[in-house]
Amino acid sequence: MDERSLAHALSGIIGATLSNELASDFVKLRRDCSTATLERASPGKFVETFVQCLQYISTGTYDVKPDVDGYLSKKAEQDNSIPEGLRICAARLARSIYTLRNKRNIAHKNPIDPNTVDLALAHQGAAWITAELLRNASGLSMGEAGALIAKIQTPVGTLVEEIDGTRLVHAETSVRGEILILLHSHYPDYVPVASILGSLRARSSGSVRNRLGELRTAKLAHGDGKAGYRLTQAGHAAAVSEINRVQAST
């Protein structure tokens, strides 16, 4: 099952627009977890879309900008038109994810950094919610729905590992691909060249510098030897494509 297939499977219960958005939000959150990219918008957007899904299931319409916490804490559980697993279990889980997003500051690193663990918890919660939606849409058991969700990407947490401040990319890819995945894990921050060379120490430093120059020429990365490098929007898209390619091949 890929993102498009997931969206199609969900469309029967939440409609085409929301199913496409929820599938996209979930895959983005899964990708962030896989590459240790701490982006606050990812968990928050997933929960916001889920609230719209519950509203759609209940009334056939949804708010463009829903009151996420108010709806989950005061309205969802009282609406008997929504299946119990979604209005109680999934709603409470979604509120927990939203609380992590707001109170644990997933977007930024602190001296003692629990945020990758928070992000992993948010991802697992989102996977459960997506599986419960899929179960209600398709009539599958929770185990069958969960197995399909697991097929969207390879298990997360395997592409980027941080050891003593150095991030290592675990992927069968080129130097260019490794740089893209590494910069994606730091996005949108600049990464010093010394850090990039340290992460890719198994590669030729000359080759790494040459690929950085090529990425800058192609406007996929921005920066220089003094400031370091960060991905552009086009570079971020290229990194996502590389991540998807690597995960699909494993």
Ramachandran region of residue 96, left (φ > 0), alpha (ψ -120 to 50) or beta?
Answer: alpha
Q: For 159-193, how does the pLDDT look when each residue is reduced to its tens digit (9 = 90+)?
A: 888 787 788 998 889 999 999 999 988 877 899 99
Cross-strand pairs, 230: 222
- Cα–Cα distance, 140 to 136 (Å, whole number): 7
Q: Give yes or no for a contact between 91 and 79, defined as CB atoms under 8 angstroms apart.
A: no
Q: For 189-243, how does the pLDDT look when each residue is reduced to its tens digit (9 = 90+)?
A: 899 999 999 999 999 999 999 999 999 999 999 999 999 999 998 998 899 889 8
- Cα–Cα distance, 27 to 48 (Å, whole number): 15
Q: What is the mean pLDDT of the chain?
A: 85
**Residue 153 burial (CB count, 10 A):** 20
Q: Rounded to two decimals, what is the model's pTM? A: 0.62
